[in-house]
Structure formats: structure tokens, C-alpha cells
Structure 1
Amino acid sequence: MVSGLAACYVVNNGGTAAWSSSSSSWKTSTTAPRAPPPRLVAFRRRRMTTMNMIATGATCISRRESSSTTAEVLRSLDGWAESNLLPLLKPVESSWQPHDLLPDSASPGFRDAVDELRARAREIPDDYYVCLVGNMVTEEALPTYHAALNSFVGYDCPSRGDAWARWSRGWTAEENRHGDLLNRYLYLSGRVDVRRVEQTIHHLIGSGMRLAADKCPFRGFIYTAFQERATAISHGNTARRAGALGDACLARICGAIAGDEKRHEAAYTRVVAELFARAPDAAVRALEYMMRERILMPAYYMFDGRDPDLFRHYAAVAQRLGVYTTADYADLVRFFVHRWGVADLGPGLTAEGRRAQDYVCRLPERVSKMEQREDARRRRQEPCRVPFSWVFGRQVELQL
């Protein structure tokens, strides 16, 4: 949007042109722009290094892939998507909304209900809220995910009526409730620094995501299937933990989101299974590529303006609490290799496809061994405490 462009500055021959929000006009200054803080420089350097690695890998692999072939296969699934994908979306009238799970602001008892919510929230430790905020920030970067999905399916018109376009809009509409619900809950709870959380969301949407799909629907749907299952696990575990901590209302909030994620996981898992059935060689090579790249959470580039290693620290807290762990990732790999029948692919594979099949079939055991070694390493480490701006700079225990 234009308002976003107005927040930038450009350097002209006469100096630095900057937008003045107070006078709503351009002004010219001959002073050099202030250097960004070291934490921001460190974060940007890490992000650009990763992006360059992804771009290089995607360019190499794209030389072996025919984009027209993958697009043709996807187009052949239009009728299949109509009958197998769209039924997994729920009608608006029968769908839950954030209002259903939070105090009703129009009710005379609204303040009392909020007081009860805040009283329950006070009993929940900071490390749980770090995980909950991380989940919410991930959900709030929905514009990035919507754009990525549209790049997979070649969808570029808001009024298109084919099955893929309708799925993209319907899926986005269901996902949109997740960030809204968690955001409103956290605002009412009083347990987090809302402005710092909002800055983290702002940074994440501006930074994009680590996605090696390169507009390839095979890779893109594989990535999305993994991510939907991972987020279902994460939200499901925060629901169970909230219940164990005595907050049944928060457990219902997280559980409702987990339920959506399970349906979406089923949808994308079906898509990839059908791609394996129709184009097994391209599908197994895409899976091998995504596994070699290693699928990371969409919030890999989260940044709060202070901690350049925020995602790593958040992930360590989630690991320690059992919200999402390296063992969960190993289980994901094992589940999808079995679900998509990779070991049973027939003799129609190319030599490259057979090499990819062999790599992928051996992967679950390798990932499990890596997870065991990583777990043993963590057990040898002394826990440390790291401050999180999300909980007003209070320190939270984790193991790196």
C-alpha cells in the first residue's frame, strides 16, 4: 500500500529525503541517516544469509524441473479439488468465531468476565505465554502465507471461481480467525507487552518467510502439509497444557485452533497424496528437495526489535515445555513418508527419482537418530535464562 511506501526513505543527490508525519510533506536533510542498532543489523545479516542460500538452491533445482509440467499436473486436479478439497471447508454459519470464545463486550457482565479471565491468566507461568505468543505471531503473518499459497496455484485474481481460488480464499478466511482470537485473548489477559508483540508481528510480515518452494506447487503443498500438522501439534499441546494449569477457557481457545489446523492438514495431505499418484517422479524429487532444505516454522524470521535470536529462544522454550519438539519433527517425517507411500512407488521413477526415493525412505531413521543425539546434548547442558520482551523483559528458563 502507498502508506507503507511512505514510511521508507530514499537518497537523492541533495541528501536524504524523509517523510515527516507531523507536516505530511517531504523534507530534505543533508545529515546522514542514523545507523540501525546492532541487534537489527545482526538480525538482517542472518536473514539475508539464509535467503541467499534458499535462492541459490532454488535456482539450481529449477533447472531440473519443468514449471509447465507441474502447472499442468495441478490444473488437471481442478475437478478433484472440487470434490475432495472444498468439502473440508466449513460454512460460515456453522463456524466458530473469536467472539464465541471470549467475553462478550456487549454484555453487562463483560467486565466481570474479563476480571475472571485475568485472574486465571495470573496463575499461568511466563514460559507458557512465550509459547502462546509465538503461536499467535505465527498465525498473524497470514498475508505472507496467503501470497505463498496463491503462488503455488497460480491464483492472481480475487474474483476467480475455480476450485483452487475458492480454496485459497476459504482457507485464508478460516485461518484469519486464529490470530484474531489469540490476539484478543492476550490483550485481555494483561500478561504480555502487547506493543512489543505487535512490533514482532510487524517485523515478521515485513521479513517474509523461509520457503524453498520457488512457486513449485509440489514443493509448496509438501511444505504446507508439514506446517499444518506442526501447528496442529503446537496448538493442541498448548491446549492440553492450559487444561493442566487449570484454565479450561484457554484450553478451549487453543483447542478450537488446533481443530482447524487438523482439517487443513488433512486437505494438504490429500493434495500431496494425489500428486504422488499422478506424477510420482516429480513428487518424490520435490519431497527430497524439501527434506534436504529442512522445513522450518514460518516464524523463523520473527524479531521483536531486541533479540536477533528470538526464534531460536522461542523454539527452545517450546522444546522444554513439550509444545513443539525435535521429536515431533521426526514424527512428522515418519508420518508423511508412510502416508504418501514413498517406499511403494513403482518402477516408473527416473534414476533421479529412485535416488530421491532412497534418500527419503532412509530419512525417518536418520532424523530419529539426530533427534536422540540432540536430546542427549541438551540434557548435558545447564539450563539458562533469557529475557523475553513479550513478557516485559522477564527471564524464562530454556536449554540451547
Structure 2
Amino acid sequence: MHLSGRFDMREVERTVQRLIRDGMSFPGPVTSPFHGFVYVTFQERATAIAHGNTARLVGARGAGDAMLARICGTVAADEKRHEVAYTRIMGKLFEADPDAAVRAMAYLMRHRIDMPTAFINDGRHSGRDFYARFIAIAQQAGTYTISDYRSILEHLIRQWGVEELTSGLSGEGRHARDYLCALPRKIQRMEEKVMDRAVRAQNKPTPIPINWIFDRTISVVLP
């Protein structure tokens, strides 16, 4: 980014400093290690997927940069190692206290897991408005989509054997398990709606000026 000349690094740094000032996003209070480890496991897999998708996009034949693709691939692999570690830790917590673990996972999924940078802003659009623009761009580009979100949830449900949990659960724990097992299908219905909306609005994209790239506009379909 520094060397390419394609980014306004002053604006990038201003955005970073605003994010440091405003803090990171977390869905609700961190009340136990269970909540924290579910969150970071999900996030590490999400960032691995996003960087892997970026690597494939920037390395595309005829329109890419092989070195940049290698860099993104290396970052994705590093994120994957973090994910493996947190997945194992959370797996042990599921073994030690399945009730607390499944309730913590359901709590976080009910509040939706966003990237920790959800408070990011460019000085013009603050809070969720600016973040929503980033999400729309990522969805359109294919770097991180609602389908990826669903696939992560399905993967973690399998990894931690959520569907097979039967013993050691309270009534609340059983409700949490059932909620989690039904959630992927609900998200899939959301995917279908997002796709339908994108098709209907494909002739009406919104031009978004991005100050990181000297206010060059990106045409995107906003939710």
C-alpha cells in the first residue's frame, strides 16, 4: 500500500487512529472465557477465508499480481493456524462444560458476529453506515460474503459436535443447541433474499467515493 502510490496513506492512517479512539466491536459483554474463545475462533476462520479469497482474486490470470497473491495467501495461512489453536481450546471447553459452551455460542450468534472493526469510519460516515459500505463491497467482490458466514457456522457446529450434544445440558442449553442447529438454514434464506435484491438492483448501483483511494468511486449495490 505504501509503495504502490495507489492509496492515500494519510487517510488510511486517520481511519486507523479513529478506530483506536472508538474501540473494537464485540457482541455484548464478555462474561466468560467461553464467549471470548467462540468469538476469536469465528473471527480467525473469517479472516483466513477473507484473505484466501483476496489471494485468489488478486492472483487471477490476466488481472492480478502474483506477489500480492502470495502475501495474502501467507496471511491466510497464519490466520488458519490461529483458528486451529482456538478451535481446539473451545473444543476442550465443550468437553468440560457443554452447557456453558453451547449457551455462549448461541448468545454470540444471536447478537451476530461482526468484524472487530465494525466501528471503523472515514470521518464522513461513522458507525454502522461506513461499515455497511465495506460489507457491501466485500460481498460484491467476493472477498467475504454471507455464504462464508454461514459456512463458518456450519463448520464450527460440526467441529464441536453441537448437534450431538445430549447430556449435561440444562433446558436453556437444549434451546441454545436447537437454535444453533436451525440457524444455518435461516441464514441460507437470508442469502437467497440478498441475491434476489442484488439482481433487482443490479441496474441501480450506488457510487461510493472511497477516500483511501483518493475518492475514486466504487459502484456497489447497498443493502
Q: Which residue of 2 aligns with 1:200?
A: 15
What is the letter of the counterpart of residue 340 of structure 1? W
SS at match of 2:117: helix
**How do 1:1-400 residues align onto structure 2 when only pairs under 5 Å count?**
186-211=1-26, 212-244=28-60, 245-308=63-126, 309-381=129-201, 382-400=204-222
SS at match of 1:187: coil
Q: Distance in 2 between matches of 1:356 and 1:311?
A: 29
Shift of the alpha carbon at 1:339? 1.1
Q: Which residue of 2 aligns with 1:71?
A: none
Q: Distance in 2 between matches of 1:234 and 1:356?
A: 28
Q: What is the total number of aligned residue pairs between the two structures?
A: 215
Q: Is the CA contact (8 Å cut-off) linking 2:97 and 2:168 kept in structure 1?
A: no
Q: Is the CA contact (8 Å cut-off) linking 1:213 and 1:220 kept in structure 2?
A: no
Q: Distance in 1 between matches of 2:158 and 2:59?
A: 32
Structure 2 residues without counterparts, runs of 5 or longer: none
Q: Is the CA contact (8 Å cut-off) linking 1:343 and 1:361 kept in structure 2?
A: yes
Shift of the alpha carbon at 1:331? 0.9
Q: Distance in 1 between matches of 2:31 and 2:77?
A: 28
SS at match of 1:235: helix
Q: Distance in 2 between matches of 1:326 and 1:350?
A: 31
Q: Is the CA contact (8 Å cut-off) linking 1:330 and 1:371 kept in structure 2?
A: no
What is the letter of the counterpart of residue 273 of structure 1? G
What is the letter of the counterpart of residue 189 of structure 2? K
Q: Give CA deviations for 1:342-362 in whole Å, capped at 9, x if unaligned.
A: 011122211111111111111
Q: 1:215 to 1:354 in 2, by over 3 A?
A: closer
Q: Distance in 2 between matches of 1:358 and 1:284?
A: 10
Comparing 299-308 with 317-326, greater Cα deviation is found at 299-308
What is the letter of the counterpart of residue 11 of structure 2? R
What is the letter of the counterpart of residue 101 of structure 2? A
TM-score normalised by L of structure 2: 0.93
Q: Relative contact order, CA 8 A, sep 6+: which one is greater?
A: 2
Q: Distance in 2 between matches of 1:335 and 1:369?
A: 18
Q: Distance in 2 between matches of 1:393 and 1:351?
A: 53
Shift of the alpha carbon at 1:398? 0.8
Q: Give CA deviations for 1:68-126 in whole Å, capped at 9, x if unaligned.
A: xxxxxxxxxxxxxxxxxxxxxxxxxxxxxxxxxxxxxxxxxxxxxxxxxxxxxxxxxxx
Identity %: 50
Q: Which has the larger radius of gyration?
A: 1
What is the letter of the counterpart of residue 14 of structure 2? Q
